[in-house]
Structure 1
Amino acid sequence: MHEPALTHPSDKFQPLAAIVGWLALTMLIVHVAVNAFGPYEFHRDEFLYLAMGRHLDWWRMDFPPLIAGIARVTQLLGGGLEPWSVRLSSALAGSALIVLAGWTARRLGGGTWAQGAAALAVTVSPLFQRAGTLFQPVVFDQLWWTLGYGALLLLSAEDRRRYWVFAAVVVGLGLLTKFSIGFFAVGVLVAVVMLPEWRGRLSTAPPYLAVGGALLLGAASIVGQVRLGWPLREQMARLEAVQLARIGVTDFVVGQVLIGPALVLALVGLVTLLTWSRFRGARILGLATLSSFVLLAVLRGKAYYIGPIYPVLWGAGAVAIEVLSSQRWTATIRRGVVAVLVLYGLVTLPFGLPVLPPEMMARYSAVAGPSSAVTTNVGVALPLPQDYADMLGWQQMVETVATVYWQLPERERTQAVLVADNYGEAGALDLYGPALGLPSAISAAGTYWQFGPGPLPGEVVVVLGEQPEGLRKFADSVVVAARIANRWGVPEEQDLLVLIGRRPRTTMQSLWPSRAGNY
């Protein structure tokens, strides 16, 4: 039986199967349409990243700055007020992942069916659909990991300097996106040490030059941490205390079941990468992905953290099925794989793409979704997936604050400071507020604290999301001006108060240093 060999980089270029391009283009159109006409607003995190773009300081940010840079470019190009325009970069990255899955299959010797099956697995996966929907670092992180595995695949066939440069650029961009690129790097290092043919390359200069180049390209992420006193430690401590403490190794492993039937395809890919003689040259992919998986499981990461390993595993699995299925059962097996992937994709589509209105989505989640799909990061069960709940109620909230603000006497309005309890509320006020005549908001939450308290001392404050007793620590006069109900929001946004504080005991500028580190 014919078995594929790794395609050599210098071989004559062979285009990808047309189905790969069609799937990528279709998903791009779907993402744009859903974001343009869907029933949801911006996500809480997107408000923060847009604010980071407006306050862009490349070498002094408490998160890797690439997402802020993309936000800034989007705003300069005229985007920023509509979800589809802000999320276009994420949609493009999501479509690129579809292409890369097909490319991986082709590099491993796969034909049209293998390329299409690998691309289809990414297309119908709710994990990648959701990532490509939202303007967050997640989808870009997935893209850099997948490109990094692509660099390894190229280097497996031919040790050329330009592929080391490519690897350096990809990892450097990963460092500018999320520090989780370190899990990719550790997985690759373990694989390199375990494989003699790769271990021998450690005696040459290119690997070290690539590491140096990646660190140089991604230096802004590290410099920002140094200049700000390593806020990553506070962020991770809070993440551990609030979210990761509930997660065990079993939770991480069982969480992969939500990948659905495509998990079997990935396991086929992993096993054949590790054992199949025709994949010997690509064994580093199997060892690197497995090592990263084990590392994240031991460290109790969230299940989706390991998502970037799947496109390459699906590529390998599709090739294995294409080649190893017997001639008698070839058509049946291939049709069965496609049918199962499509069926699962149709059932889970509302969890990957926010197409159903909240009421319908709540009913669908109760019938078709696992409990984990509607459980928040802190373990609270909601009617909707948390990401969806985080995309509702923001415009109504800002309109209510604007009503309170414009009811103030003119003298007070000129001195009023808008204060928000969290970065989502502050970001929504900053995005939607200018059209309603609102000044910029301030917040001591996380990255927003870095933006400062503004120039006004706070003689009058309009506070969103705080309780009266909390504001009374700052102001002698506290009035509840409005209450905002948000049935479908996350718990902290379901019943918000808008307060007016007067006669402060101190200024915002004096208070601000003591509010640092509220992640």
Structure 2
Amino acid sequence: MNRQTKFIVLFFCIIKLILHLIADSHSGFQGDELLHIETGKHLAFGYMEFPPLIAAFAFIQNLFHSNSVFIHHIFPHIAAILIIIYVAKTTLELGGKNKAVFLVLLAIIIAPGFGRSEQLFQPVVFSQLFWVLGFYQLVKFTKHLDKKSLWYLTLFCILGFLVKYDSIFFIFGLSALLVYQRTRTALIKHKFWLNILLFLICIAPNIIWQFLNDFPLLQMTDRLYETQLDKISRFENFTSLLIAINPIVSLLLIIPALFYLFKSKDQIFVRIISTTIGMSFLLLLFKNGKAYYFFPIILTLLSFGAIFWEQIVLLKRKWIIYPMSFLMILGAVLIPFGMPVYSFNRYLEKVYPHEEKEIQGGEFGVKYDEYYTQNKWKTTMQDLQSVFETLSNNEKQDCLIWGKHYAQAGAVDLFGESYNLPKAFSYHGSFYRWTPKGTMPNTVIALSYQVGNFFNPYFEEVTLVKSIYNPYADNDEELYQRIYICRKPKQDFGKMKELFKKRIFE
């Protein structure tokens, strides 16, 4: 990078970080984040929903013994900055210069989908990071056919798999390297089977963990298709994707990127790279993944769109960069639809009127719960505390809190100490692995969303004592949280685990 390029990249890194820090100050935790934070207290080779690497990040963040959003977003922010840097480096490696780098980084900044997916402590942002890092090494290997790039590519495939299983789509695309004689010859020369062997050795502990635990990943995938993916058409997914990455970005960079890849098919290294992207995309399309599953592929395409403008248009009509940049900057109005850069009250005033909000009994329909969970979990903890204080001293001694949803159990474990609450357990998701053993306490406080008489089969006495209204819920189930006092359990924890063995994701 020359000095001017470094300045452009530094500028966008600063803008990106500022936006995320502002969002931190306005938001609480999204429900899945509370599960991911908890994994840091239970390091293992695998979890029911995802591979083990995010737990290592959580473990480090947990060393701060903090429940602040900022602390638990340290690694997502680092990942987001590295994505900016390596998308820029990829653009340069593909032959782009300063104007292309400027356009591609501006596109990432104004895409609401990238804003949210790179804000939260979820495997998604790390999946994007390792995909981008892997793609950068793929470009270098395809151009230079060097052994070093191949080993780095292997490393990022390993890390990608260990953070999110959707890396399999990227790895599938790499099979295109065997199709072309140029890369096939280089792979054989570098004894690529050693790279495959290292990959298999590194992921083996997770595969063994899945085998020993009856492959919960397959159970989760079946449940995901049953409740979500089979109900979404590919057209709906495609439409959601175009909106998530900003329609302006789609028009100005993605479509030109496809044109550029087609036009440059005579360049062998571009042809190889476009084939790997195409194979990844087709497999993902076949599996009907959610819109955000395509985000890493979009991050690889943006560079080609920016290079198209720089090499084909801007060389002859340099003035176009100004109206184009202005139009893309106007697209920044969509940033608040992806991350809470507004205060919540301003969000309700400016963004909320555009959201769908047809929930019977609700007042609002806020799409993303991190916008309002600061108050949601504070209220929940206060109400749990008031219920806990009504118990006798004998009941308090061994009382536990049963969180029906893993987010509820995670919230109690993260915030509960400040309210002198007992520990939580849950049979939902990975919390199933961490449930207590032995005899259940005589008194359990149960916290759930609207689930009817869910707890009645497991206790002689179940009393509803509080209902917590959530005016911001965007679905019927989360409109209320219920707090129950449950007494005289009918079974011990061992029996409970057996009863929920096939219901982990319900």
TM-score, normalised on structure 1?
Answer: 0.89
Letter in 1 for 2:392: P
Aligned counterpart in structure 1 of residue 141 of structure 2, from 152, 155, 164: 155
Aligned counterpart in structure 2 of residue 306 of structure 1, from 270, 281, 294: 294
Structure 1 position 29 matched with structure 2 position 11 = no
Q: Aligned ranges for residues 36-185 of structure 1 at < 5 Å?
A: 37-38=25-26, 40-58=27-45, 63-76=50-63, 78=64, 80-185=66-171
Q: In structure 2, what is the equivalent of residue 469 of structure 1?
A: 453
Q: Aligned ranges for residues 214-225 of structure 1 at < 5 Å?
A: 214-225=199-210
Q: In structure 2, what is the equivalent of residue 7 of structure 1?
A: none
Q: CA 1:365/1:383 → structure 2, altered by over 3 Å: closer, same or farther? A: farther
Cα distance in 1 between the residues matched to 2:290 and 2:46: 29
Please say if residues 101 and 122 of structure 1, whose CA atoms lie closer than 8 Å, have aligned partners that are also in contact. Answer: no
**CA offset at residue 251 of structure 1?**
2.1
**CA offset at residue 383 of structure 1?**
1.9
Q: In structure 2, what is the equivalent of residue 432 of structure 1?
A: 415
SS of equivalent to 2:45: coil
Letter in 1 for 2:304: A
The percent of aligned pairs where both chains have the same amino acid is 25
Aligned counterpart in structure 2 of residue 245 of structure 1, from 230, 233, 241: 230
Structure 1 position 416 matched with structure 2 position 399 = yes
Aligned counterpart in structure 1 of residue 347 of structure 2, from 356, 361, 371: 361
Cα distance in 2 between the residues matched to 1:287 and 1:328: 30
Please say if residues 63 and 221 of structure 1, whose CA atoms lie closer than 8 Å, have aligned partners that are also in contact. Answer: no
Structure 1 position 384 matched with structure 2 position 366 = yes
Q: Which moved more, 1:474-483 or 1:400-409?
A: 474-483
**CA offset at residue 47 of structure 1?**
0.6
Alpha-carbon displacement from aligned partner over 1:81-129 (angstroms, at most 9, x marks no partner):
1001111210111111111221122112222111111111112211111
Cα distance in 1 between the residues matched to 2:305 and 2:238: 19
Cα distance in 2 between the residues matched to 1:279 and 1:130: 36
Cα distance in 1 between the residues matched to 2:284 and 2:238: 10
Give the CA RMSD over aligned residues: 2.5
Alpha-carbon displacement from aligned partner over 1:370-399 (angstroms, at most 9, x marks no partner):
x6xx899xxx99722234467351221122
Cα distance in 1 between the residues matched to 2:210 and 2:492: 28
Q: In structure 2, what is the equivalent of residue 444 of structure 1?
A: 427
**CA offset at residue 417 of structure 1?**
2.0
Q: In structure 1, what is the equivalent of residue 308 of structure 2?
A: 320
**CA offset at residue 60 of structure 1?**
6.6
Cα distance in 1 between the residues matched to 2:189 and 2:48: 35
Structure 2 stretches lacking a partner, 5+ long: none
Cα distance in 2 between the residues matched to 1:194 and 1:79: 51
Alpha-carbon displacement from aligned partner over 1:304-355 (angstroms, at most 9, x marks no partner):
1011022232112212211111655221x2112211221112x211112212
Q: In structure 2, what is the equivalent of residue 4 of structure 1?
A: none
Letter in 1 for 2:94: L
Q: In structure 1, what is the equivalent of residue 9 of structure 2?
A: 20
Structure 1 stretches lacking a partner, 5+ long: 1-12
**CA offset at residue 188 of structure 1?**
2.2
**CA offset at residue 425 of structure 1?**
0.3
Letter in 2 for 1:251: E
SS of equivalent to 1:325: helix
Please say if residues 29 and 370 of structure 2, whose CA atoms lie closer than 8 Å, have aligned partners that are also in contact. Answer: no
Q: In structure 2, what is the equivalent of residue 283 of structure 1?
A: 271
**CA offset at residue 277 of structure 1?**
5.9
Please say if residues 367 and 474 of structure 2, whose CA atoms lie closer than 8 Å, have aligned partners that are also in contact. Answer: no
Structure 1 position 401 matched with structure 2 position 388 = no
Cα distance in 1 between the residues matched to 2:250 and 2:267: 20
Alpha-carbon displacement from aligned partner over 1:290-314 (angstroms, at most 9, x marks no partner):
2222221221111110110222321
Q: In structure 2, what is the equivalent of residue 514 of structure 1?
A: 499
**CA offset at residue 454 of structure 1?**
4.6
SS of equivalent to 2:421: coil
Cα distance in 2 between the residues matched to 1:327 and 1:166: 34
Q: Which moved more, 1:493-502 or 1:235-244?
A: 493-502
SS of equivalent to 2:323: helix
Cα distance in 2 between the residues matched to 1:235 and 1:203: 38
Q: CA 1:319/1:198 → structure 2, altered by over 3 Å: closer, same or farther? A: same
Letter in 1 for 2:458: F
Q: Which moved more, 1:47-56 or 1:25-34?
A: 25-34
Q: CA 1:60/1:429 → structure 2, altered by over 3 Å: closer, same or farther? A: closer
Alpha-carbon displacement from aligned partner over 1:475-499 (angstroms, at most 9, x marks no partner):
2222222221111135333212111
Aligned counterpart in structure 1 of residue 489 of structure 2, from 473, 479, 504: 504
Aligned counterpart in structure 1 of residue 257 of structure 2, from 263, 269, 272: 269
Structure 1 position 457 matched with structure 2 position 423 = no
SS of equivalent to 2:337: helix
Q: In structure 2, what is the equivalent of residue 334 of structure 1?
A: 321
Cα distance in 1 between the residues matched to 2:314 and 2:340: 40
**CA offset at residue 152 of structure 1?**
1.0
**CA offset at residue 262 of structure 1?**
1.2
**CA offset at residue 242 of structure 1?**
0.5
TM-score, normalised on structure 2?
Answer: 0.91
Please say if residues 419 and 442 of structure 1, whose CA atoms lie closer than 8 Å, have aligned partners that are also in contact. Answer: yes
Structure 1 position 294 matched with structure 2 position 294 = no
Cα distance in 1 between the residues matched to 2:203 and 2:59: 18
Cα distance in 2 between the residues matched to 1:206 and 1:268: 37
Letter in 2 for 1:33: I
Cα distance in 2 between the residues matched to 1:449 and 1:175: 23
Letter in 2 for 1:26: I
Q: How many residues align?
A: 495
Aligned counterpart in structure 1 of residue 182 of structure 2, from 197, 200, 218: 197
Cα distance in 2 between the residues matched to 1:426 and 1:455: 19
Please say if residues 97 and 122 of structure 1, whose CA atoms lie closer than 8 Å, have aligned partners that are also in contact. Answer: no
